[in-house]
Structure 1
Amino acid sequence: MKNYFCIFILICSFLVIISPSLASGSNNSKFFIETSENKINIDDTLSASLEIESIQPVYGLEFIVTYDPKHLRPIDADPKKSGFQITPGSFFDLDRKDWLYPLQNRVDVNAGEIFFATSRLNPAPSASGDGIIANINFQAIKKGKTQLTIEKVVFGTKKGEAVKPETQNKMILITPQYFSTLHFGLIIGLTILAILILMRYRKRIQRDFDGLQPG
């Protein structure tokens, strides 16, 4: 009997040890960055969205995303407000705006850091599944490879439990803009001008050419 009791204690201890890993393994959600393009030219606008996939019922979140300010310049979502903001997505949206509490929304343009946090308020229901958390636009300012990196993301349940999804960063390639719209228009304009000049002096050119022919 004593041996059976010892075995039972060992099994319980083993389950206690592995239970955290089992719990984290059951979380199949993914927080990732989706962009309008993977390759853009200098001066082009890059649209990026922070998205969640297959998340369990949650009540709020906090994330920090970084970028290289030497390559990308953020575009303020609300120029009327002081500082730089990004655009909240629709994942936590509710018909009643008083059930949604924005905690943080700012961009440190010098350090290249984006801080965002929001939460629903009781008695609002939890949100789950897939959706867009936030959107941000950038202007490409320097050629080269650069990455949008998720430094931190934590969702919270209504009971205050932390949920940490798998993350996926985004690599962007910025290339030189050899022919801008202005350059293209200039080339077309010069080509048309050359054709008009050629048509105007066509007879004179033909006459001069005929005069050079041997009699």
Structure 2
Amino acid sequence: MKYIVCIAALLVSLSAFAEQGRIYLNTSDPHIKTGSEFYVDVMVEDLPEVYGVQLTLNYDAKSITLIDQDTKAKGAALEQGHFLDEDHLYTLRNQADSQKGQIQYIVSQVAPAKSAVGSGRLARLYFTAPDNAINTEISIQNAEFGTRKGEKYVYTPKAPLALSFDASYQVQDKPASGNQIWAFSLATVVLLIILGGLLMRKQPAASHANHPA
């Protein structure tokens, strides 16, 4: 009897560990102007250590068109994100079926890459919305992450991302590039250093004032 209890407890703990974190779709504004381009990000949050992913995404190919991000490869491809190590990444499949409206993305890191953990952007999809675009959804059909040791984490797809289209909506802002983010971070660090230096220069003067001759 005690062995059954131990096995049950182990299964519960493994199930909870497999559900650690989440994967979801996100965009800056789900209200898309007809006849314009827009993007959708595949995001992960609080993931355990993983080394690769097998992802299937669905979209309505009759309503929107995926913009190819790798013209050298066959078929339309999505843009790889920064969660996995881009410099040590082997791509097994990154291709969309424009008839079915399905994207398959299968990649794995390779040595000497360290396991990815935590949160970040896994991928980015760019679409065009025709002038007659109607309301539609983009969804994650399945998401399986593998570890360096060969373990697998299967994540249950969450609610799809609903998009609406209208000619009166604003054109979606373009996402910030990696260079823009880096420049902003550098400027912030420099500003903090300058402010810290000014505070340190003022501090001795204040101390001197508290001790009259």
1:81 Cα shift?
A: 3.5
Distance 1:86 1:92, change over 3 A: same
Alpha-carbon distance between aligned partners in 2 of 1:46 and 1:121, rounded to the nearest angstrom: 32
Question: Runs of 5+ in structure 2 lacking a partner?
Answer: 172-213
C-alpha offsets along residues 158-185 of structure 1, whole Å, 9 cap, x if unaligned?
110001235432111122x26999xxxx
Q: Distance in 1 between matches of 2:25 and 2:168?
A: 28
Residue 149 of structure 2, aligned match among 147, 159, 181: 159
Q: Which residue of the partner structure matches residue 170 of structure 1? A: 161
Check the 8 A contact 1:30/1:167 in 2, yes or no.
Answer: no
| 1:7 match | none
Please, which of 3, 14, 21 is the counterpart of residue 12 of structure 2?
21
Cα distance change on mapping 1:77 and 1:19 into 2, 3 Å: same
- How far 1:28 moved relative to its partner? 2.3
> Is this contact kept in 2: 1:101–1:119, CA < 8 A?
yes
Whether 2:26 is the aligned partner of 1:30: answer no
Q: Cα offset for 1:80?
A: 4.1
1 CA distance for matches of 2:99 and 2:156?
A: 28
Aligned residues: CA RMSD: 2.2
- Say if 2:134 is the partner of 1:144: yes
AA aligned to 1:151 is Q
Cα offset, 1:149, TM superposition: 0.9
Structure whose alpha-carbon radius of gyration is higher:
1
- Aligned 8 A contact 1:37 1:46 in 2: no
- The reply to whether residue 135 of structure 1 matches residue 124 of structure 2 is yes
* CA distance in 2 between partners of 1:102 and 1:127 (Å): 16
SS in 1 for 2:12: helix
Identity over aligned residues, as a percent? 26
Q: Structure 1: where are the runs of 5+ without partners?
A: 1-9, 182-215
Q: Secondary structure at the match of 2:135?
A: strand
Could you tell me how far 1:143 is from its partner in structure 2?
3.5
Q: CA deviation at 1:125?
A: 1.4
Q: Measure the CA separation in 2 of the matches of 1:76 and 1:123.
A: 29
Query: What TM-score, normalized to structure 2?
Result: 0.72
